[in-house]
């Protein structure tokens, strides 16, 4: 049964050139009587984009209140942008991969015929956990953020000293480039590149992966989701450090700052139309034989 709620089309203007795929999807939705909102994602406010006849572009945040879903045209980065915007409303996201690996996207461009299920409401959603992060400086919380993929702490081209704790108990101490605190969704992103495990994305875990640790004993850890992870920068820090959530804004981190990371009360809901399993997707995206 069709809903009377609108469907948001969120194209990355640098991926869907001239919005060719977005136009096709818009026509499919119009065919089924669905109201459409077009919210182009531009990397720079000065970027230009082609006008789309019959559609009036608007801002994503302005359309979320009465939207059934967001259809994203781009790579994982574009989906992460949509997920941040939709975290408070819980609006489901359907990704059409027009990027590189595209682990979070459900459909490839060649599979647009499956979209009839989205137009008619015949789809399922998958819940993905998110992380909250806060930076403590002295006795004060100086910064808060949240992430679908990961919270990353890195030295700015310098080695840093880190101490990692789980619920106040020491997990590991090492010098290195930093650490990735990831969700299962983010396990196939930076965490995997740094040597971390691949975890089923619908699982409920927190993954700690050291980045280029200068000690053999520093290994990845997979924790239960209700664990509170704390990261402290040591006194012997040799250069500046920063924290970022899902590759976004960098927050400068100093000696004796503490970063607390835990399971968020926010969730991302991804629309599932294809029958492709996670294991199949990993094999395809990572170039393994099937």
**How far is the first Cα of the chain from the last one, in angstroms, to the nearest whole number?**
37
**21 lies in the same domain as 138:** no
**134 lies in the same domain as 260:** yes
**80 lies in the same domain as 164:** no
**63 lies in the same domain as 148:** no
Q: Residues 259-265: what's their mean pLDDT?
A: 98
Q: What is the CATH number of the domain that holds 107?
A: 3.40.50.10330
**89 lies in the same domain as 135:** no
pLDDT band at 212 (very low <50, low <70, confident <90, very high): very high
**18 lies in the same domain as 93:** yes
Is-catalytic flag, 76? yes
**247 lies in the same domain as 193:** yes
Q: Is 290 contained in some domain?
A: no
In our burial notation (b when 16+ CB lie closer than 10 A, e otherwise), range 17-53 reads: eebebbbebbebbeeeebebbbbbbeeeeeeebeebe
- Look at residue 153 and tell me whether its pLDDT is greater than 60: yes
**184 lies in the same domain as 212:** yes
Q: Is 1 contained in some domain?
A: no
**242 lies in the same domain as 143:** yes
**94 lies in the same domain as 198:** no
- Look at residue 85 and tell me whether its pLDDT is greater than 80: yes
**37 lies in the same domain as 153:** no
Strand 93-97, strand 67-74: pairing: parallel
- Look at residue 290 and tell me whether its pLDDT is greater than 50: no
Number of structural domains (the chain) is: 2
- Look at residue 2 and tell me whether its pLDDT is greater than 60: no
Q: Is 236 contained in some domain?
A: yes
Q: Is 158 contained in some domain?
A: yes
Return the structure tokens found at 270.
């991804």
Q: Is 191 contained in some domain?
A: yes
Among the listed residues 16, 76, 145, 246, the single catalytic one is 76
Q: For residue 115, how many C-alpha atoms fall within 13 Å in the half-sphere facing its CB? A: 29
Range of the domain at 26: 6-123+273-285
Does 262 or 62 have the greater pLDDT score?
262
Does 1 or 112 have the greater pLDDT score?
112
CA dihedral of residues 137, 139, 144, 149 (deg, nearest 10): 70
pLDDT band at 100 (very low <50, low <70, confident <90, very high): confident
Q: Is 212 contained in some domain?
A: yes
Return the structure tokens found at 18.
């001239």
- Look at residue 194 and tell me whether its pLDDT is greater than 60: yes
**187 lies in the same domain as 106:** no
Q: What is the CATH number of the domain that holds 213?
A: 2.60.200.30
């Amino acid at each position: 049964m069709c809903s009377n709620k609108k469907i948001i089309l969120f194209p990355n203007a640098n991926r869907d050139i001239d919005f060719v795929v977005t136009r096709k999807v818009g026509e499919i939705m119009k065919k089924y009587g669905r109201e459409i909102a077009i919210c182009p994602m531009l990397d720079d406010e000065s970027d230009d984009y082609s006008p789309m006849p019959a559609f009036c572009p608007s801002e994503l945040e302005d359309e979320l209140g009465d939207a059934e879903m967001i259809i994203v045209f781009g790579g994982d980065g574009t989906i992460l942008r949509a997920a941040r915007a939709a975290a408070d409303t819980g609006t489901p996201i359907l990704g059409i991969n027009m990027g590189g690996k595209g682990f979070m996207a459900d459909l490839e461009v060649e599979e647009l015929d499956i979209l009839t299920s989205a137009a008619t409401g015949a789809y399922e959603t998958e819940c993905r956990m998110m992380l909250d992060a806060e930076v403590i400086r002295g006795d004060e919380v100086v910064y808060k953020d949240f992430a679908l993929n990961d919270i990353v702490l890195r030295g700015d081209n310098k080695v840093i000293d880190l101490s990692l704790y789980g619920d106040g108990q020491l997990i590991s101490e090492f010098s290195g480039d930093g650490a990735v605190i990831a969700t299962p969704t983010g396990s196939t992103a930076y965490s995997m590149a740094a040597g971390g495990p691949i975890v089923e994305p619908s699982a409920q875990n927190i993954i700690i992966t050291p980045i280029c640790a200068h000690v053999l004993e520093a290994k990845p850890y997979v924790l239960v989701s209700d664990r509170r992870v704390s990261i402290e920068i040591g006194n012997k820090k040799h250069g500046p450090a920063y924290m970022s959530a899902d590759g976004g804004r960098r927050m400068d981190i100093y000696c004796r700052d503490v970063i607390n990371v835990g399971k968020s009360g926010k969730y991302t809901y991804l629309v599932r139309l294809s029958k492709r399993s996670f294991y199949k997707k990993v094999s395809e995206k990572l170039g393994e034989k099937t």
